[in-house]
Amino acid sequence: YSSLIGGIPITYIDATNALKNSDIFSVIQRISSDIASASFKTENAYASQVLNHPNNLIGRFSFWQAVIIQLLCSGNAYVPISGMTLEQRPPSEVQINLDSGNQVMQYQLNAFNDEPEMTLDQSKMLHFRIMPDANYRYLIGMSPLESLTDEMTIAYNSKKASLNSVENQINPIGVLNLKSALLNPGDRDIAREEFEKANSRNNAGRLMVLDNNSEFSQLQVKADVFQALNENSQYSANQISKAFGVPVDMLGGGADTESQHSNIDQIKSSYIVSLNGYINPIIDELKLKFNAPDLKLDVKSSLDVDDSLIINQVNSMVSAGTLSPQQAQQILLQNNAVPSNLIPYQQEGGDVNA
């Protein structure tokens, strides 16, 4: 689908087929869920209320997940600001106009439901974008999916060829040899149907009984067919992981993943850093439009659900001598990583340190 900016057509990538790829679905679902799980924090009461309760029809998580999914799929997401509520509008419903001096952007929204067509200036529109495109004066973003066009074509064709190979290797799954029998096509069909009837459905897995004139053998699938499928799957996951900047472990891993030579905390830390590429454009736009310079999104806490990340980080700092045990305990208490009624740390020799 397309839109306009200053009269120049904007073509957005169609993510319908892309989301049918399990790896792309996984990475978009993971990024959108993790960012949507985090809460906005600011001293601006209006901004805090609107951002953490954006819509009366759906919950905060679902609203922001939908916004981020759109952002990842098209590189842009449009959210008009209307009083105390926010509403996402798809890019196909938005036309963007620039004034003669290219100093002011206006967003024209198509009529929707009972709402008439309307025009909003840039102060009333949250326009989230990633990877601004030079072709549109850096005002329109690009989706990571655009970098996967060739790779996805290769992966699709390779997968199709591999599946065809599997079908040719698997079918038929076995051979029924009727000795000393000369069968016409009709007799062969009857023999096949009777054999399948006796050894499938409720009879599957039961003892097979053959007479002296019958012999059944099962074909095997060549190992290289499954190897080809496995290699194509790994290739797809690695390319998608690279395009979205997410460790391949976060997609479910595979035979060749970072977890073979890294621990889970390093992977989490790397993932959090990668998320900043999507979080920072969102936060910057919200700071500007809501006049909330102190706005933050607490993603780290939402990812560290069992507090293992902060506990291991603090323990490492204690071991390195950067923090004392008392300071470490204070940090863990402040982050609710240990019970508030924890027994005070006691050094050897009997001194108690709160």
Dump pLDDT digits (tens) for 133-147. 887 778 888 888 888
Higher pLDDT, 219 or 303: 303
Tens-digit pLDDT profile for residues 232-246: 566 677 888 888 888
Confidence of residue 113 (pLDDT cuts 50, 70, 90): confident
CA distance 77 to 88: 8
Share of residues in the chain with pLDDT > 70 (%): 64
For position 295, what pLDDT does the model report?
95
- How confident is the model over 345-349, as a mean pLDDT? 59
For position 290, what pLDDT does the model report?
94
Residue in 348, 349, 354 with CA at minimum distance from that of residue 326: 354
Confidence of residue 170 (pLDDT cuts 50, 70, 90): very low
For position 1, what pLDDT does the model report?
45
**What is the edge-to-edge ordering of all strands in the sheet holding 118-121?**
8-11, 2-5, 94-98, 105-109, 118-121
pLDDT of 160 higher than 50: yes
Instruction: Identify residue 130 by its one-letter amino acid code.
Output: I
For position 64, what pLDDT does the model report?
96
The SS3 call for residue 350 is coil
The SS3 call for residue 129 is strand
For position 304, what pLDDT does the model report?
67
Share of residues in the chain with pLDDT > 90 (%): 21
pLDDT of 99 higher than 90: no
250-254, 271-275, 333-337 — most confident range: 271-275
- How confident is the model over 336-349, as a mean pLDDT? 66
Higher pLDDT, 103 or 294: 294
Tens-digit pLDDT profile for residues 35-44: 999 889 999 9
pLDDT of 320 higher than 80: yes
Higher pLDDT, 264 or 295: 295
Residues 6+ apart with CB under 8 A from 115: 109
pLDDT of 225 higher than 60: no
Burial class (CB within 10 angstroms; exposed 0-12, middle 13-18, buried 19+) of 237: buried
Higher pLDDT, 61 or 156: 61
Mean pLDDT lowest among 57-66, 113-122, 207-216 = 207-216
Residues 6+ apart with CB under 8 A from 8: 136
Higher pLDDT, 256 or 267: 267
For position 294, what pLDDT does the model report?
95
Residue in 68, 55, 60, 57 with CA at minimum distance from that of residue 40: 60
pLDDT of 11 higher than 50: yes
Cα 47 to the center of its chain, rounded Å: 27
pLDDT of 45 higher than 60: yes
CA distance 31 to 210: 56
CA dihedral 68, 285, 104, 6 (to 10 degrees): -20
CA distance 315 to 207: 60
Higher pLDDT, 270 or 80: 80
pLDDT of 261 higher than 60: no
30-34, 137-141, 149-153, 245-249 — most confident range: 30-34
Confidence of residue 171 (pLDDT cuts 50, 70, 90): very low
Which residues are bridge partners to 79 per DSSP?
A: 126
Please provide the average confidence, as pLDDT, over all residues in the chain: 76
Q: Map tokens 């319908």 to a residue.
A: 16
| HSE-CB for 147 with a 13 A CA cutoff | 16
For position 42, what pLDDT does the model report?
93
Q: What is the pTM of this model?
A: 0.69
